[in-house]
Structure 1
């Protein structure tokens, strides 16, 4: 059975309610994958959610979502922490029912972020928790490789965030 492909687009400030809803889903599904707790996100103000949603239209940042009819089913973002390190992939999430189902949500979201990233460098980096082997395998399948660099994960349970990179040109 062929599924309808979700719409892929950048977020806008007026999307703040949907951005909030998807972020809360992300934090409940895979809390280890994001540098924020569900409890913290519940307390974030409307102004902050509006700012997060506006990342899709903010220079030096992007926020891309997959929408199936009215349901938001995936997200990937990017930002440039500094010119020397280049663009960083962040906020990667696809709802469980859309993972590996043939609709290509992950691939299409990543293609949109890669297109944005090419305006900021020749590679795209990300960080993934060492205790998230499913995500590491997913990123490797999409062409990322471990760099050998890591940093401490700031939330419980601790551990390391491993850096991965994908050359874009």
Structure 2
């Protein structure tokens, strides 16, 4: 990897809200069937929504957003997590097409899973993936996620289905003795 290819994985900062907006809109335009939202809805969001989202993702204890940043300071990838009813969920893994095949998605996922291990250590982690997103499905499976058999439709046109995957928390410090 050359110096130009150096990518930093970090938690988003509240001041990154506009870069987050640009990245998310690019994701929805490039890979619309990979996400539960759509481009038009997100384009219509006001700046305060993006500011709030970046702030919660930067400091929250129940949600986080991690980004991949190149040496020029451009965000080229993202992943997020939120907790609902004490259940952690991963959402929105995306890497810009020009930055793919450089293991950035795996680094983003690993960073987020590390954060979740301390934020929600005893809980399984859930995510949803469109089965047509084979690279994402393979990445998740390689990190211990398994299909649960649950699916749901996304309100897209054309219709899309997402499959749920779950990753059990690592077992640590438990004795097998009676």
TM-score, normalised relative to structure 1: 0.88
Mark the runs of 5 or more structure 2 residues left unpaired by the alignment. Answer: 171-178
Counterpart residue number, 2:20:
19
Partner of 1:60: 62
User: 1:39–1:18: structure 2 CA closer, same or farther, 3 Å change rule?
Assistant: same
5 Å matches for 1:5-84?
Answer: 5-54=6-55, 55-69=57-71, 70-83=73-86
Deviation at 1:156, TM superposition (A): 2.3
TM-score by length of 2: 0.84
Question: 1:81 and 1:154, CA in 2 relative to 1: closer, same or farther beyond 3 A?
Answer: farther
For 1:130 and 1:111, locate their aligned partners in 2 and report how far apart those are by CA, in whole Å: 21
**Which SS does the other structure have where 1:131 is aligned?**
coil
**Unaligned stretches of 5+ residues in structure 1:** none
The count of residues paired between Structure 1 and Structure 2 equals 165
Which residue in 1 is equivalent to 2:116? 117
Structure 1 position 2, deviation (Å): 4.3
Answer yes or no: is the 8 Å Cα contact 1:130–1:159 preserved in 2: no
Aligned-residue CA RMSD in angstroms?
1.7
**What is the Cα deviation at residue 74 of structure 1?**
0.7
